[in-house]
Structure 1
């Protein structure tokens, strides 16, 4: 049962929110401030949300919180980035929206679920920030109560994600700090090769997209090698590594 009725914003109100954000992006000289305004708008637009945030992933598969409306978002995200598993990692890897009804009962990412057990985090929706080269990050909302979100929440979040990715990709004005362009360039450069490497593992070993990506991360950590190198060795070399 939902903790409260889900009442998505009418389309005209959603459009007005983005018009306001776009205007601020054109006048703000700080990228992080613009993104902060964006996640606050997402949090306010989705009933039951305790916080919203944006994560970016670089060419080595390392995630980082780029914007967060609340501290709990940063903490819950950090656990995913450190462990290399969780709903946001899954959304980025598979390129599709992931819904968590109750983190305490969800068995898909046991390490992450245990890591956030002490946080006021029970429900989550995470959707990829897509570009022509594939997802470069995720937009997500957390809730303190279980069953706070539905598939409709995911659909609303997806409406935010499309223009959010576009706006983020264009915050490159002459007075805009360049610290955002690095993660974007790294994500775009490595994404295709990561997808190919995942595809090889999926075909050879019958893995899901998330399992394949986690296997790539495992190899990178075991060998102390950047994820991009692991992917290149797999896609370019004749060696047929085993999963285990």
Structure 2
């Protein structure tokens, strides 16, 4: 299946739209519902999307979903205590399922959702202030709909969304939320500029550049924003 790759401007616009939706919401429940819908509309190939805010014991404190299929799949995850969303939350790493029918992870959950029309999925953690507060996820009807590019998109959505959701959850003032939006938009633009440098330097596409930045950040145990800032400032971010 040919996967649509979002152009850089479209990606930036989608993230900005998600942040704008979050800023209009006064309650977390309304915010996660808006975020779910925005993700579904922004990630190519998505059947449905969802957002879960979790406490320290993996109990849902707020949840949003676009379709009953997402609601059922998520309910079974929390009922059974296993699944890609919980794994993403606990590990603070994104989870990609290319083909659910052959994926050996979470056997009880996989059996429980076998009657649902989902074959592939991506879950990404929502990390705010160094803590995982939940996860976002997308599901697709067919296997191999999602790939590394989808994972990258979900990570880019999750980072600023987590910051703003944590502010809403903590009943921060609108001014504080606006400052968080400015910081999130700055980080997004910084990553985009760093990707542009790598694309020009190595003659690679945007997806490959993002993957290289993320790999460098993990290798160096620093954030994606920090490794991007180093590259933009003229410090080599790739050590190959």
What is aligned with 1:131?
128
1:155 aligns with 2:152: yes
CA contact (8 A) 2:36 2:49 kept: yes
What is aligned with 2:20?
23
Q: Distance in 1 between matches of 2:21 and 2:149?
A: 28
CA contact (8 A) 1:92 1:135 kept: yes
RMSD (Å) for aligned C-alpha atoms: 2.0
Q: TM-score w.r.t. structure 1 length? A: 0.65
Offset at residue 91 of structure 1 (A) = 1.1
What 5-or-longer segments of structure 2 have no aligned partner?
A: 175-240
Number of residue equivalences: 172
Q: Distance in 2 between matches of 1:155 and 1:99?
A: 11
Structure of higher RCO (CA pairs closer than 8 Å, 6+ residues apart): 1
What is aligned with 1:91?
88
Offset at residue 170 of structure 1 (A) = 2.0
Q: Identify the match of residue 111 of structure 2 among 111, 114, 125.
A: 114
After TM superposition, which residue ranges in structure 1, 4 or more long, deviate above 6 angstroms?
A: none
Q: Distance in 1 between matches of 2:172 and 2:127?
A: 21
CA contact (8 A) 1:8 1:156 kept: no
What is aligned with 2:46?
49
1:58 aligns with 2:43: no
What 5-or-longer segments of structure 1 have no aligned partner?
A: 176-244
Offset at residue 57 of structure 1 (A) = 2.0
Offset at residue 54 of structure 1 (A) = 0.9
Matches within 5 A, 1:1-244: 4-63=1-60, 66-171=63-168, 172=171
